[in-house]
Chains A and B, each alone.
Chain A
Amino acid sequence: MKDYKTLTTREMFALVTLLVGIKFADTTPALLAQKGQNAFWMIPIISFLIIFPSFLLLIYLLKRYKDKNLVELLEKVLGRFFGKSLGFLLFILAYATLIFDSRNYVEQIKLLYYPQSPTLIISIVFMAVIFFCAKRGFEVIGFTSWIGLPLIKFAVFLLAALIFKEAVWNRIFPIFGSGVQVIVMEGVKNSSIFLEFFLLTIAYTAFKDTKFFRRGSYFGGLFVIFEIILFFLLYTVIFDYNSIDKIAFPFHEITQYINFGDYFTNIETFFMVFWLFAGFMRFIILLYLITWIFGAVFNINEFEPLLFPFAFLALMIGVIPENAIVNELIIRDLLLDISTPLFVLFPFILWIVALCKGELKKT
């Protein structure tokens, strides 16, 4: 039978949810809580408000230029050289995110469950799984996300329901934590926690109809922001401002707090399995998208063979930082700060250039 495109809204929804939504379960809350303290749950709202207009603008441009993916759009608007350069820059930042985030996940797995195992070996296993799965192609990644999503989200909301009784709601006060200014600044600086939204646009034309992409990304975006705020709020009301910035892995921390009836008292491994699935899925999607961007920038149509070198390189660079603290608090923090302006601004640049060239007036 002929090949046909099968991805629809539901797969896009699942991709967005898995790619961005897992942020509440890694070290992002710990990172944000360093400055935001008990009001850190508001940071994603600010970030979202900052980044979503840019994303909508990008979607608008993609819609206007029809049947172009991210890199093709950049080229079309900015010309060959500048388009490709900007594409390459996006690739570098996204790849750096992949490398240091994956190290971050490996550290979480190691510290929480396999303290005696060498980082390198866990990294190899982790990357091997990601590589073999990513190799199956974008459609399969989409289906798997969709099939896996209900299970993963079931586990997540079960966790939220079980932890609810531990919450002390007065802990959200003072409502703005250490000040409105800090929250806003942090929100703006860390907008790039949502940068994966932009990466997904490389797959704009891979869907059955581009409207599925748009619809999926809107629903997914809203769901993700709801989920992130819910969990950040839960962390705030459970840990309070004193301990929140000292806890490195709040998600895993709360899985230790809960029990399921009197008999099952240590069920963190249960949640760890679903967290692992979500984590694997996130990096599978990320690796695939990044390789895709690279392929598009350098006109490599058959980019799937590149997955292996990229996975290998990510593994090798990922093990360089000496420990989790350096990786998280210095490199990743810096990376988020650097990538924010670029990701927030480039859709505007595109829009202005397109406007000046008069290409948006056609209809």
Chain B
Amino acid sequence: MFHFFKKAKKANTQSKPQKNNDPIRSSLKHNTEHIKQLFSYGTNKDFSYRDLIAKYNQKEMSLFYYSSIVNGDKIYEAIIRPLLEAEGNELKNVVTVESLTEIKDFDEVIEHINSGKAILFQEGTAIAFSIDVAQFQFRSIGKAENESAIKGPQEAFTESLNVNISLVRKRVHDKQLITESKQVGKRSKSEVNFLYVSDLVNDDILNNLKKRLDEINTDSVRNVELLEQYIEERPYSIFPSIHYTERPDKAASYLEDGYIIILMDNSAACLVVPVTFWSFFHAQEDRYLRFLYGNFTRAIRLFAFYLTTMISATYVGITNFHSEMLPPDLLLAITASRERVPFPLIFEVLIMEVAFELIREAGIRIPNPLGPTIGIVGALILGQAAVEANIISPIIVIVAAVSGLTSFAIADVSINFTVRITRFIFIAAAGTYGMFGLAGAFLVWFMYAASLKSFGVPFFSPLAPYFKSPGDTVFRKAIKNEIWRPGNLLPKDLRKKRDSTSK
């Protein structure tokens, strides 16, 4: 292991991209040549440059930018036109843009051009001016498609960092809401922004996150989906350790509880750290619904959780090993339906479960116009034809349908995979040793989950270990009675609701 690390380290130092921190010279010609060479001007079609002579000081100037990621009108209106027409004593009084930064070396020049800024060189000056004219294209704000809600806001994050931050700030009007940023990626640098409420967040968790971001050593991290895999704790575990959501209102409610959310350009979602099991179990709508309705939803979801992981396994276990448990009528019904089926029961269940997973996977990948095909193939071939051909018994269709259907009640995409994989583990366990195997497998699975920690926070906290919390675990309290923030995060301010008697 050690040897492996050593090797990996060595390889990394060799492949580091060359640094370009040449200083900017005062000769415009030199600067222009250098930058043209850096960006392969001529070959690189959208890399543009423009020479002009500024009216206010009669000096030669050159402007560089990527035409595809800047706002052309803005360049014309705020830079070129003022430079050609306006009088003034220095540059900052001439150009009419909101941000003008001075930069000193080519390393920075490259970074700025890549992030959508225009760079202005001036004859006889050893600095360059970076002018923010970026205009990256992105999708407009849409509806939350994957975490839909009937009651509650419909907005979802979109693939633009600034828009996403604005969506969050719109909800959290708190001067302590900090947006900190770090750059990741060695070659293509991307900005990772993490938001937290500074007088709530636990500093250990925050520092842990920063450390993990600093430790990322790779060419590029394009979006939060990839970032998640770079900063998560257990890459091989079946349990996720970072929460992923596309709902800004959910992100905002996490922020107010002392969590940290991570945003990047190019992702219509954010990451939330740390997580507990409950983050995956809850849907934001549970909180928007009234106490009783919300808890009813939770009860249904808990039941769905049980069914989707256990029903196939229980069916296999009971019919194979504990058939005496079934009431005689039910037992006869099952036996009669299985009479002409040639396969062993566990094999039958596996066929159906795998078929369901196939339909599901195909359903996601299939191009929209072909969508209905899946329904026909799934319902007719797998359901009816397979039963009529005596490949599987009708009861199995019901069992597989229930276990498949209930898995959709577990909305979170990460935990959904956990549940689906778990189902197969349990089926295997129940197939080997009935309820004994199933109970054992469940206990191992559960204790493994209970031992997990995400950024130091135990997975089943605040239930076990117990912490002061809003009591929002399996069920939730009436919103008025929530006094504490989740104590398992050790937030700086634990009390959510000011006690009217204390002050």
For residue B435, CB closer than 8 A to chain A, the reply is yes
For residue B254, CB closer than 8 A to chain A, the reply is no
B321 and A114 contacting across the interface, CB-CB below 8 Å: yes
- Give Cα distance in the complex from A11 to B463, angstroms: 11
Query: Per-residue 0/1 for B427-462: is the Cβ within 8 Å of any A Cβ (1 yes, 0 no)?
Result: 000000111111111011011101100011110100
Task: Tell me which of B447, B457, B458 has the highest count of chain A C-beta atoms within 10 A of its own C-beta.
Answer: B447
Q: A10-B466, A266-B324, A280-B443 are known contacts. Are A1 and B208 too (CB-CB below 8 A)?
A: yes
B204 and A2 contacting across the interface, CB-CB below 8 Å: yes
Our pick among A113, A276, A281, A284 for the contact of B322 (Cβ within 8 Å) is A113
Residues of B within 8 A of A137 (CB): 451
Residues of A within 8 A of B458 (CB): 6, 143
- Give Cα distance in the complex from A24 to B501, angstroms: 50
A144 and B450 contacting across the interface, CB-CB below 8 Å: yes
Residues of A within 8 A of B437 (CB): 125
Residues of B within 8 A of A276 (CB): 435-436, 439-440
For residue B465, CB closer than 8 A to chain A, the reply is yes
Question: Least Cβ distance of B456 to chain A in Å?
Answer: 3
B325 and A268 contacting across the interface, CB-CB below 8 Å: yes
Stretch at the interface among A53-61, A128-136, A236-244: A128-136
Question: Least Cβ distance of A296 to chain B in Å?
Answer: 22
Of all chain A residues, which has the CB nearest B204? A1
- Give Cα distance in the complex from A6 to B464, angstroms: 9
Interface residues of B in 463-501 (CB under 8 A from A): 463-466, 490
Residues of B within 8 A of A133 (CB): 443-444, 447
B435 and A136 contacting across the interface, CB-CB below 8 Å: no
Query: Per-residue 0/1 for A1-43: is the Cβ within 8 Å of any B Cβ (1 yes, 0 no)?
Result: 1100011101100000000000000000000000000000000
- Give Cα distance in the complex from A273 to B433, angstroms: 12
B443 and A277 contacting across the interface, CB-CB below 8 Å: yes
Question: Least Cβ distance of A263 to chain B in Å?
Answer: 5
Interface residues of A in 144-171 (CB under 8 A from B): 144, 146-147
Question: Least Cβ distance of A277 to chain B in Å?
Answer: 6
A1 and B325 contacting across the interface, CB-CB below 8 Å: no
A125 and B460 contacting across the interface, CB-CB below 8 Å: no
- Give Cα distance in the complex from A113 to B451, angstroms: 31
Interface residues of A in 255-279 (CB under 8 A from B): 263-270, 272-273, 276-277
Residue total for A at the interface (Cβ-Cβ under 8 A): 43
- Give Cα distance in the complex from A114 to B435, angstroms: 11
Question: Least Cβ distance of A141 to chain B in Å?
Answer: 8
Q: Is the interface of A mostly helix, strand, loop or mixed?
A: helix
A113 and B439 contacting across the interface, CB-CB below 8 Å: no
- Give Cα distance in the complex from A6 to B459, angstroms: 13
Residues of A within 8 A of B446 (CB): 144
Residues of A within 8 A of B321 (CB): 113-114
- Give Cα distance in the complex from A284 to B439, angstroms: 14
Question: Least Cβ distance of A140 to chain B in Å?
Answer: 4
B433 and A125 contacting across the interface, CB-CB below 8 Å: yes
Of all chain A residues, which has the CB nearest B329? A263
Question: Least Cβ distance of A267 to chain B in Å?
Answer: 7
For residue B251, CB closer than 8 A to chain A, the reply is no
- Give Cα distance in the complex from A132 to B445, angstroms: 10
Of all chain A residues, which has the CB nearest B464? A143
For residue B422, CB closer than 8 A to chain A, the reply is no
A273 and B440 contacting across the interface, CB-CB below 8 Å: no
A1 and B205 contacting across the interface, CB-CB below 8 Å: yes
For residue B318, CB closer than 8 A to chain A, the reply is yes
B208 and A7 contacting across the interface, CB-CB below 8 Å: no
For residue B369, CB closer than 8 A to chain A, the reply is no
- Give Cα distance in the complex from A133 to B448, angstroms: 7
B444 and A1 contacting across the interface, CB-CB below 8 Å: no
For residue A139, CB closer than 8 A to chain B, the reply is yes
For residue B17, CB closer than 8 A to chain A, the reply is no
Task: Tell me which of A10, A136, A137 has the highest count of chain B C-beta atoms within 10 A of its own C-beta.
Answer: A136
B435 and A129 contacting across the interface, CB-CB below 8 Å: no
Our pick among A1, A125, A128, A129 for the contact of B490 (Cβ within 8 Å) is A1
- Give Cα distance in the complex from A8 to B503, angstroms: 32
For residue A109, CB closer than 8 A to chain B, the reply is yes
For residue B71, CB closer than 8 A to chain A, the reply is no
- Give Cα distance in the complex from A113 to B447, angstroms: 25
B435 and A8 contacting across the interface, CB-CB below 8 Å: no
Which A residues are within 8 Å of any B CB, using their own CB? Answer: 1-2, 6-8, 10-11, 109, 113-114, 117, 122, 125-126, 128-129, 132-133, 136-137, 139-144, 146-147, 263-270, 272-273, 276-277, 280-281, 284
17 contacts between A and B (CB under 8 A): A2-B456, A8-B465, A114-B436, A122-B436, A125-B440, A126-B440, A129-B440, A136-B451, A143-B458, A143-B465, A144-B446, A266-B324, A269-B325, A269-B435, A276-B435, A280-B439, A281-B443
11 other A-B residue contacts (CB within 8 Å) besides A109-B436, A276-B440: A1-B456, A2-B204, A11-B464, A114-B321, A122-B436, A133-B447, A140-B450, A143-B464, A146-B464, A270-B325, A280-B439
* List of 7 A-B pairs having minimum Cβ-Cβ separation, nearest first: A1-B456, A6-B465, A143-B464, A129-B440, A136-B451, A269-B325, A276-B439
